[in-house]
Amino acid sequence: MKKSELQKARAAYEPKLPGVLKGNVKVVSGRPTKSVADEAEIQKLFPNTYGLPELTFESSSEKVSASKAINVGVILSGGQAPGGHNVISGLFDGIKKINEESRLYGFLMGPGGFVDHQYIELTADIIKEYRNTGGFDIIGSGRTKLEKIEQFDKGLEILKKLNIDALVIIGGDDSNTNAAVLAEYYKSINAGVQVIGCPKTIDGDLKNDLIETSFGFDTATKVYSELIGNIQRDCNSARKYYHFIKLMGRSASHIALECALQTQPTLCIISEEVEAKEMSLDDVVEEIVNTIIDRSKNGMNFGTVLIPEGLIEFIPAVKKLIAELNDLLAAKASEFASKHHGEQRQWVLENLSCDNAKVYASLPEGVARQLTLDRDPHGNVQVSLIETEKLLSEMVGNRLRVLKKEGKYNGKFSPQHHFFGYEGRCADPSNFDADYCYSLGFNAACLINSGVTGYMSSVRNLTKNAEEWIAGGIPVTMMMNMEKRHGEMKPVIQKALVNLKGNPFRIFSELREKCAKGVEFVYPGPIQFFGPSEVCDQPTLTLKYEHE
């Protein structure tokens, strides 16, 4: 593989590890845990892995006897996130430190490779090529949902054939939910295979007190913020466009909020606030329109509007509609599929309750259609496919035309549209993600060596110097509750949405009045890998403010 000079320099970067993981460790058990909600149901579904204690690693001065070699399998699951290769490098170095004879196998293209027995052995030479690089291409990723006993049994055949002692699943909330189900199943049949999860997702919605952030969020939001900053400078230079920028992130608005904190745009919609204020789509449009009119009075016919990709799901009326559509499409999937494209809208209207049919009928054709398209394998509406940025700018344009006719607006409105998501998912990891990911992988090796299963690798105290980071494991069942998926109640990891009482949102809401009126955008510039620590090693503002 030909490498650029930056890649060569970056390959030599040595990720930082928590001080405690550098020497010998002992595991300290905390109190038994409970699920975040629906305790009785979760306990019943996870009789062997429910209630396990939180674990923390501490330095040990005791002389440790030589550990046996361990064979580990690893899977990258779901959307790409910067730093995945470093999780694998850390895991590799961790198991080699335990015993030089340990081996690491990578299952290809996600959980599907595990079920279909597609794998490679990850040797030192392969790992070397991928240290500190972005992407998941070392073994590929996929969205196959691991949920059936037949898949678990099929996977177990290859684990046994390769003498694999533990499987590490690097994924988001849905993939870690699957990891927990797999851990429970293997424990229940005494399969002798441990399952450990690692918190991955650019969306930032897999977090709690003990998982402070998912990896990839830091780099992805820095990449998007650089791009938004560039657009804002362009905007401030030409002074003629409104840029409607949709940002990835699924349901939660963490990415939009972090980018807003970093770039201070004219407006940023936060879906969780829209829901809390019970706003309709027209209310959201009105808010944008009012800002545009105010700015036009000062001759400012330009600005930036950030839109979280999940917005549409949080408009209360649309949320109710989606819930009914999910049930309807799960119950009558084949009837719906048998209809021609042109007949499907009418069929949906006839099968919905009266209120939801009205909301459905009011949506533009394209959006209405997206809401009925296939869910992803985990049952989520594929919000990244809904062009909310175009929908909103069209509605804003229509409203401004009416107001112009009525003599209430005299500005110019020229919109531009952007969707930032894929641009950031495979970026080279920032120093923070490079260090955090390497530590998560190395820590996963320590958890495997402690013999546990059904745990997620946890590295925290992340706003401090890496030396002071705390390492350990949290039982995955502790993060679970029951939710409806594909029309049935299922145990799933609870998604973390933006906390409207938290510091990041509070600080954003204090800033936004000034942002709506002015042009004092912030231009964060590109991620820096080499240079002063205050430039290169800063975590996200979300993490910083959450821990103030």
CB of 542 to ligand FBP, least distance (A): 16
**Strand, coil or helix: 317:** helix
Distance between terminal CA atoms of the chain? 44
Q: Tell me the three-class secondary structure of 144-199, residue by residue.
A: CCCCCHHHHHHHHHHHHHCCCCEEEEEECHHHHHHHHHHHHHHHHCCCCCEEEEEE
Closest contact distance (angstroms) between CB of 507 and ligand FBP is 23
Q: Which residues are catalytic?
A: 203
Any long-range contacts for 358-365 (C-beta under 8 Å, 24+ apart)? 359/317, 359/318, 359/320, 359/321, 360/321, 360/325, 363/318, 364/391, 364/394
Q: Which is nearer to ligand FBP, 249 or 491 (CB)?
A: 249
In the complex, least distance from residue 205 CB atom to ligand FBP, rounded to whole angstroms: 8
Which residues make up the interface to ligand FBP (CB under 6 A)? 78-79, 172, 201-203, 248-250, 309, 383-384, 421, 425
Q: Least distance in Å: CB of 214 to ligand FBP?
A: 8
Q: How far is the CB of 200 from ligand FBP (least distance, A)?
A: 6
In angstroms, what is the minimal distance from the CB of 351 to ligand FBP?
A: 27
SS3 label, residue 459: strand
* Nearer CB in complex with ligand FBP: 289/498: 498
Residue number with CB closer to ligand FBP (84 or 303): 84
Cα 362 to Cα 406: distance, rounded to the nearest angstrom: 24
Tally of helices (H runs) and strands (E runs) in the chain: 23, 15
The string of DSSP letters for 239-260 reads: ---EEEEEE--TT--HHHHHHH
- Structure token pair of residue 312: 């549409």
Give 18 or 106: the residue with its C-beta nearer to ligand FBP.
106
CB-CB contact of 90 with 442 (8 Å): yes
38 vs 423, beta carbon nearer ligand FBP: 423
CB 516 within 8 A of CB 524: no
Side-chain half-sphere CA neighbours of 46 within 13 A: 34
Nearer to ligand FBP, 78 or 134 (CB): 78
